[in-house]
Structure 1
């Protein structure tokens, strides 16, 4: 199949945040494995984080081009080098960051104009970068939206807004039914993604995102049909656009060292982490991962650490540290020296994700968080979950009884389905073929129209 469309050229433009860039890098690899030329747009600082991944992809013969553009930090009122959302010192600078990102439009356009062959056939851009729709219009090519969310969460958000469902409750903590879902889903207004409560200074950006979404050709999802239990079709009907689920895209990357090294440098070597895991019984280690945007106060993180410790299960916990976390680092040095650490955020669509995991897929245990921690409000919120609740949830998750075994079996089955979906003839594999075929046809149609004119 690769030989049929080796001239296709996709331009990928991710939001500069780890949870958005990493799947886009894997998506670039996935497209390139099918013979599609890919230009991956990023900035100088972010390019250094993924240099290993792109270098190895190029060395292996994959047609991936890394395009590092200068990020206009100073012009947008950002500190120099603040080129990723995880490096923003304050939530008040989110507007500045998005403004800086929009300034990449002109240099990207200039680069694409200077490239005589091959001209771009498609642009896949993060939904938070609405200015990419203007580039798509300029080059008369389809623009596909990339969402970091699943179809279940996107449909839930869409239906709440479409039916004004959140206006039926009198308080932020009162649960209400999400209309138009295939399962019974209840949520509170406080738990809704941030798009429902937008700061006035960001309202114009939210409007631009909505307008750009309406004009998009379709949506690309890092999910797979078997995970969504009918929600791909429901979401597609709701937005009246094509939706291609091509994930989990991480399964296309077989290079463990590449996956370990990309992003910020870890304080623990890969071999050290692997050796420790190999010394443990199978399925006995808890992995605590809370995301690159986690800014919870040290007291809450210490409560999490104490809960992990009290559970008496071995665990890996990778955590993002900074100067303000000196208290936390000292606590770790005294209690669990040598264990890897990680971070956690609680925002955006994660409460919808929880509904999918707990009530629909039935593969998890709630820890009990009811209120999101919005960027900039960490100090106000303080400690949300006590160590006893953390310990209880861990023991419930890791228990050996029928309930725990059933959860593990269901999760294992989904893992097998995910693997099968990305293999040849699997649902995600076929969706990628259909996506490439559709963009090829659009390109041929454009060529025919140009010849006629």
Structure 2
């Protein structure tokens, strides 16, 4: 076994979509002989530990990283879906606890075990500030697409030029263009304009506006992407180091950083389906649908007459359990599988899966394109709308769904687009080609492989 050199402390933002990729990155770093400590809030840590299968805690199955926690400042019964309250509490309370954690680790360690580098999610920029004060090397980890970060870094200039007002509202009818090689943003595609709640919009814009300040504390920006995917946007991010796609190609894939237990019975179910026949439906960890929309989605899947695997979270419908149209479950019983959470990469890689009905979060986007599965796009929040533009218009590996005059994606729209997607040889060919480019980037000699090796050598 390689001698451990260096000790990296990794801190994700307290959300499923942030934890999962940083868990992957932590395991990749540890596989190169570096000691890694992953820090979650106490609330998230408990969820992660509870979601692990029993065998994962056996001596020979434990991960090669340390999982620790610090308080987020909220009480146990506080509503952590109150984004404003949670964000303010974390920024106020966590830097002090994080500094103490590093001091405690260093006081108990010999020279090789002391913290040598802090890797912080860009949404946890305060951790980079702590690292700078303590004289520790530091890197931010970008978990969105590069174009979204390029836009965030340009926000101060866009406000100064009068294109955006101080609350982030687009003041002209013209979309925002950063480069002729990067798709422009309409007013509805700005990552902070997706919420109907003006308070939430203000908070999201304030977060995006601080990107330049956050990056000031980072010596490098590690990106869960690869250079060939979007070179134009990469050029606009100083210090960017694309090292993705982050992968779980190790035997510790049990530690996926899930906040819900994975239901692996869906893999056995997939084994029994015809190759290239199954629609995989997974709209992420935060998407909320109205009861009416859940009904239309269910009936649209039924209309296709194809088998489908649908991830239905218990809190997907306004905090209550989703209810399906009368008789739906009985009618689709022989061709449907519903789970609360799925081992997504294994599902996407299964030969029975034909397409991915996705919310277009960056993790799902990068996983789907790396495996070569065509997309049906249903964005919900933040950068997901611009990711859809890349999927449909730039890479041409998927189709978008259009809402009707009532803001609903109807059963007929869904059924029709699935049929069009599955009959498109062009989309299938583009998906296969992009999969090859993604895999080549992380193979020996590839662009991300070289960047990652260089980063490990620095540590």
TM-score range, shorter chain: 0.7 to 0.9
Asked whether the equivalents of residues 122 and 141 of structure 1 are also in contact (C-alpha less than 8 Å), the reply is: yes
Q: For 1:14-413, what aligned pairs fall within 5 Å after superposition?
A: 14-51=12-49, 52=52, 59=60, 63-74=64-75, 79-80=77-78, 88=81, 93-102=82-91, 103-115=93-105, 116=107, 117=109, 118-159=113-154, 162-163=157-158, 167=163, 174=173, 176=175, 178-183=177-182, 185-194=183-192, 199-200=201-202, 208-228=210-230, 230-231=231-232, 233-236=234-237, 241-254=238-251, 257-259=254-256, 262-266=258-262, 269-270=263-264, 272-322=265-315, 324-326=319-321, 328=323, 333-337=329-333, 339-341=337-339, 344=359, 346-368=380-402, 383-399=407-423, 404-413=424-433
Structure 1, gaps ≥5 residues long: 371-380, 441-453
State the distance in 1 between where 2:74 and 2:36 align.
26
- State whether residues 126 and 145 of structure 1, in contact with CA within 8 Å, keep that contact through their aligned partners in structure 2: yes
> Shift of residue 105 of structure 1?
1.7
For residues 262 and 417 of structure 1, do their structure 2 counterparts lie closer, same or farther at Cα, with a shift above 3 Å needed? Answer: same
Match of 1:13?
11
Distance 1:245 1:359 in 2: 22
Distance 2:286 2:388 in 1: 18
Quote the Cα distance in structure 1 between the aligned partners of 2:13 and 2:31.
23
> For the Cα contact (< 8 Å) 2:118–2:131, is it kept in 1?
yes
Q: Number of residues paired by the alignment? A: 401
Q: Deviations over 1:215-249 (max 9, x none)?
A: 32121111122322x2354233xxxx321212221
Q: RMSD of the TM alignment (CA)?
A: 3.5
Distance 1:161 1:350 in 2: 22
| 8 A contact 2:293–2:408 mirrored in 1 | yes
Distance change >3 Å, CA 161–CA 314, structure 1 → 2:
farther
More displaced 10-residue stretch of structure 1: 306-315 or 14-23: 306-315
Distance 2:437 2:284 in 1: 25
SS for the counterpart of 2:120 is strand
Higher helix share: 1
Structure 2: segments with no counterpart, 5+ residues: 341-357, 360-378
CA distance in 1, matches of 2:322, 2:281: 20
Pair 1:304–1:39, CA change in 2 (3 A) = same
| Range that drifts further, 145-154 or 358-367 | 145-154
* Structure 1 residues 160 and 134: CA distance shift in structure 2, 3 A: closer
Closer, same or farther: CA 60–416 of 1 in aligned 2, 3 Å? farther
CA contact (8 A) 2:298 2:324 kept: no
**Change in CA separation of 1:249 and 1:166 when aligned onto 2, cut-off 3 Å:** farther
The answer to whether the 8 A contact 2:190-2:383 is kept is yes
Query: What do the CA deviations read for 1:292-317 (whole angstroms, capped 9, x no partner)?
Result: 01112121122122112212222111
The normalised TM-score by structure 1 is 0.77
C-alpha change, 1:359 and 1:136, in structure 2 (3 Å) is: same
Cα distance between partner residues in 1 of 2:58 and 2:125: 29
Determine the C-alpha separation between the residues in 2 that align with 1:33 and 1:208.
33
**8 Å Cα contact 2:442-2:449 kept in structure 1:** yes
Secondary structure, aligned partner of 1:23 = helix
Distance (whole Å) between structure 1 residues aligned to residue 148 and residue 209 of structure 2:
20
CA distance in 2, matches of 1:394, 1:43: 40
> Match for 1:419 among 432, 439, 447?
439
Query: Distance in 2 between the 1:321 and 1:62 partners?
Result: 29
Q: Which moved more, 1:330-339 or 1:15-24?
A: 330-339
Residues 42, 210 of structure 1: CA spacing in aligned structure 2 closer, same or farther, 3 A cutoff?
same
Measure how far apart 1:333 and its partner are: 3.9
